Structure 1
């Protein structure tokens, strides 16, 4: 079962605002008479890579409850956590960096660490996860 990431408006404004600024800088580099060709090319390439990376993260952040494992996708991140390694899961507002596009998150503790994710429907996700991880301590509150 696939769960897309919840996307907070404020984070979207920040990320898409950065993309707008990068486009503005690229436009200024193209039309600035004093800029060298090398400077223009470097600016365009860096800004294009930045725009592609942010777009990649925004549109490819999701979570899959597979047959034997939880799959977390976020741009270049492709993490797989076997259900047998999950110890606990609970709702949180933890702002640490993670493959999540919202502060309404789920903290998942597993054998080798912890991760924060933000599926659109946290309650449904936790119910499905508890069915797949009967020995895990999963809190719904």
Structure 2
């Protein structure tokens, strides 16, 4: 089953606000004549690349409870965690960098590390994970 990532409003404002502000500064400098076309091409291209990359992350972050593994997808990140390796999972507000677009997260500890994810429906995700990982310590609080 596929779970999309919960997306915090404040995060979207920061990400897309900074993109908009950078684009505004570049275009306004060009229009006002402070820089010529040659000087503004690099910042404009950099903005376009940044917009594409952030959009890629924003629209392709999801989690799949497959038959034998948990699949975490976020832009270029494609992590697969076999259920037999999952040790525990619990809700958290951990702000560490991760393939999660919200601070309402789930911390999944597995044999070789941990993953922080933010499915929209954390309770349903944990419930389904518990079914697939009866050996794991799954906490709902």
TM over 0.5: yes
Aligned-pair Cα RMSD in Å: 1.2
Aligned counterpart, 2:122: 122
State which drifts further: 20-29 or 124-133. Answer: 20-29
Structure 1 residues 45 and 125 mapped into 2: Cα distance closer, same or farther (>3 Å)? same
Aligned counterpart, 1:20: 20
Using the alignment, how far apart are the partners of 2:84 and 2:59 within structure 1? Answer: 29
TM-score by length of 2: 0.94
Runs of 4+ aligned structure 1 residues displaced above 3 Å come to none
Using the alignment, how far apart are the partners of 1:30 and 1:64 within structure 2? Answer: 45
Q: Do the aligned partners of 2:30 and 2:36 also contact (CA within 8 Å) in 1?
A: no
Q: Does 1:102 align with 2:102?
A: yes
Aligned counterpart, 1:65: 65
Structure 1 residues 30 and 36 mapped into 2: Cα distance closer, same or farther (>3 Å)? closer
Using the alignment, how far apart are the partners of 1:93 and 1:133 within structure 2? Answer: 23
Q: Do the aligned partners of 1:87 and 1:137 also contact (CA within 8 Å) in 2?
A: yes
Q: Where does structure 2 lack aligned partners over 5 or more consecutive residues?
A: none
Aligned counterpart, 2:42: 42
TM-score by length of 1: 0.94
Aligned residues: 141
Aligned counterpart, 2:5: 5
**Structure 2 residue matching 1:64: 3-state secondary structure:** strand
Structure 1 residues 28 and 86 mapped into 2: Cα distance closer, same or farther (>3 Å)? same
Using the alignment, how far apart are the partners of 1:66 and 1:26 within structure 2? Answer: 45
The Cα shift of 1:29 comes to 4.4
